[in-house]
Amino acid sequence: MDLKLSNLDRPFLLAGPCSAETEEQVLEIARDLKKSKAVAMRAGIWKPRTKPGSFEGVGEEGLRWLKKAKEETGIPTATEVANPKHVELALKNDVDILWIGARTTVSPFNVQEIAEALKGIENPVLIKNPVNPDLALWMGAIERFKKQNIQNLGALHRGFSAYEKSKYRNIPEWQIPLDLKSEFPDLPLLLDPSHIAGNRQLIQPLCQTALDLNYDGFMIETHPKPDEAWSDAKQQITPEILNEIMANLNFKTNTSSNEEFGENLALMRDQISDIDYKILESLGKRMEIATKIGDFKRAENVSIFQPEHWKEILQEMLKKGSQHDLSSGFVKKFYKAIHQESIQHQQKE
C-alpha cells in the first residue's frame, strides 16, 4: 500500500486502541479494522500521562504485537514516539506511521531530536497540535521536520487544554488548525475526535464538522471492548460503531456547478464584508473612547481595571448575545478580546 499521505483517498482513517494492552487485544482489533475503511491501525505503546502512577503503556513488547498483527492481517501500523529511542524501536519493528504527541510538540528540543532521528524518512509522520492553543509552536514543529527533508507529513488536530469548563475534554478551537492549513495548504490535516471529545457520543458530530471544514482524515480510538480499556475508556468506540460513523457521515464537495448558487453565495459574502467593515469601524470608535477614559482615570489616579464594572458588562453582553442566537462561549471570547484591547488603549499616554 502507498502510504504517501497526499495520495490517499479522502477522508482517510487511522483507528485502533488508545493503548496496546495485550497481544490478543491487538490481534483482535487488527482483524476487525482490516474489514473497515481504516488505512492503518493506531495503538499507543508509550503513554505520556499527566500524573505518575497511572498506566503508561506496555513498552517495547507492544511493538512486537503490532508487527505480528501487521504480518497476519497486512494492515499498516501507527504509534506515538516521544524521543529518538522510541523512533529506533518503532522502525525496528516495522511501524509504518509515526505521530508526535501534544506533550512532545510543546518542546522544540524534543521535536528537534526526533526530527533529526527521522531525517529523510519516507514514512508518514503526523504532528499533533501542542497542548495549549499556540499556532506558532505547532508551525515550528512542522518546520523542524521539513528542514530534515521529511516530506510525508501531516498535522493532527486533537484540541487544546482550557481552564474553563466545556463539554469537550479538549476544546477544538477550530480556527487554529484552519490558520495552520492556510500557512501550509498542501499539508494533510487530520482530526483526532477522541481526544477532543473525551466522550464517545461526541465523536460523530466532531467528524462531521471536520468534513465540513475540508479536513483530510481522522484518527479515531477504537477498542474491542471500550468500557474495559486500560486508558481513556470513555472516548473509545467499538469497530461496529466506527463503521456506523463512517457510513453516516455526509461527504461534501468544495464547489458547485449551479450558477444560481454561485451568484447567491457571492452576494451574501459581499453583505458579510460590509458588516465586517462596520464592525471594525465601530471597534475603532470604541477604542478612541477607551483611550479618553484612560486619560480621565490617570488624571484622578484611578486604576484601569474595574472588576465589578467589567463583570456587569460581560453579563449584559451575554444576555444580548443570547437574544441574537450567539453562543455564550463566543460572546465571552469576543468581549474578553475587546476588553484586553481596551485596557491596552487605556494604558496609552
**d(C-alpha 242, C-alpha 36), whole Å:** 8
Three cell numbers at 145? 521536520
Query: CATH second-level architecture of 5-248?
Result: Alpha-Beta Barrel (3.20)
In the three-class reduction of DSSP (H, G, I as helix; E, B as strand; rest coil), residue 153 is classed as strand
CATH code for the part of the protein at 259-346: 1.20.59.10
**d(C-alpha 199, C-alpha 56), whole Å:** 21
pTM of the model: 0.87
pLDDT of residue 251: 83
**d(C-alpha 22, C-alpha 42), whole Å:** 14
Neighbours of 117 (CB within 10 A): 17
In this prediction, the residues of the chain whose per-residue pLDDT falls under 50 are none
Radius of gyration of the chain (CA): 24
Among 39, 97, 28, which Cα is nearest to 65's?
Answer: 28
**In the chain, where are the structural domains located?**
5-248, 259-346
**d(C-alpha 290, C-alpha 29), whole Å:** 60
Q: Are 161 and 131 in contact (CB under 8 A)?
A: yes
Among 40, 50, 53, which Cα is nearest to 95's?
Answer: 40
- Chain position carrying cell 494492552: 21
pLDDT of residue 254: 76
pLDDT of residue 75: 97
**Mean per-residue pLDDT of the chain:** 95
Among 149, 96, 158, which Cα is nearest to 127's?
Answer: 158
**d(C-alpha 297, C-alpha 16), whole Å:** 59
Q: What is the DSSP letter of 35?
A: T
